[in-house]
Amino acid sequence: MLTLLKLLKDGRFHSGQALGAALGISRSAVWKQLQRLESDLKLSIYKVRGRGYQLASPLELLEQELLVDSPYPAFIYESLDSTNAEALRVVASEEMLAPFLILAEQQSAGRGRRGRHWISPFAENIYYSLVLRVDGGMRQLEGLSLIVGLAVMSSLHEFGINDAGLKWPNDVLVANSKVAGILLELVGDPADVCHVVIGIGINVNMIAASNVDQAWTSVRLETGRTVSRNELIIELGRKLQSYLIRHEAEGFAAIQAEWESNHLWQGREVTLIAGTHTVDGIVIGVDRQGGLRLNVAGQEKIFNGGELSLRLRHDS
């Protein structure tokens, strides 16, 4: 099925006879595979008598040979439940030494923070999980999700999304619409040897989606053009590597001011949600470990934790 898709990815018409000859199968078998592309991958295929079959729009697939310039060895899957879940399975199996990168064309159970579902259509966005080994240094984990956010934001700037900014703790926004999200998962002993999976989802060429419970945008919607996911993955890897090297050498404190200067909600009135509890305050910034500093009724308080969520106040 993927071989057929590679023949159709140029967005031009291809006759059933030509497709069958290229694949070494009958026209009837071609038709069955086309039906599977539509049902399994939710792709729209035009069928015109006398001309053949055409994808509704050209499609770029992730290509191993195009990702050789990525600083991390990449493993590409047609479909996964989630790239983070696969990365954790590989870590548990000890089959691969970190660092390595898991990529997928689509996810059936993509995960965001706080158990949210991450919408993952086929070959439109980036579903990216980087596995790193951390040896006996809690300092390497301080502010790590914020560092990753800076790398994602900087990569998007290179592709023309100059208005992309950060929202604590790990979202990348354009105005108030989400363009990328980050999910970090840790396995092992943080005081000794552990692995961290850096999960990144970027809305790249998606222009429509249902069942999304928050405002969202994509690189294509912001720029008006399709973007090469392969090129963006390479740029993201380079930015990540640069920020991670600096973070390991100097700690988050050295990058704290840069993160604050790109925080879109700096000085804004917000509500912090922790389970059933809420706290209202004004964003002061972040501390040297990446915790959120809030002015709460005239007193500075610091909040940290993966289950916290931040919202703008209605009157902000």
| Residue list, annotated binding site for biotin | 82-84, 107, 111-113, 178
From the candidates 167, 178, 239, 293, give the one annotated as an active-site residue.
178
From the candidates 113, 167, 238, 239, give the one annotated as an active-site residue.
113
- Nearest in space to 266 (alpha carbons), one of 280, 283, 281, 279: 283
Let me know if 47 is a catalytic residue.
Answer: no
Q: Determine if residue 88 is left, alpha or beta; phi over 0 gives left, psi from -120 to 50 gives alpha, anything else beta.
A: alpha
Going by C-beta distance under 8 Å and a sequence separation of 6 or more, which residues neighbour residue 174?
161, 163, 164, 165, 217, 222
In the chain, what is the straight-line distance between the N-terminal and C-terminal CA atoms, in Å?
A: 51
Q: Determine if residue 298 is left, alpha or beta; phi over 0 gives left, psi from -120 to 50 gives alpha, anything else beta.
A: left
Please report, in range form, the residues annotated as the binding site. Answer: 82-84, 107, 111-113, 178
Could you identify the residue written with the tokens 């070494």? 24
From the candidates 9, 246, 268, 311, give the one annotated as an active-site residue.
311
Let me know if 133 is a catalytic residue.
Answer: no
| Residue 69 neighbours by CB distance under 10 Å | 12
Going by C-beta distance under 8 Å and a sequence separation of 6 or more, which residues neighbour residue 196?
131, 132, 134, 141, 144, 184, 185, 186
Let me know if 239 is a catalytic residue.
Answer: no
Residues taking part in catalysis? 113, 178, 311
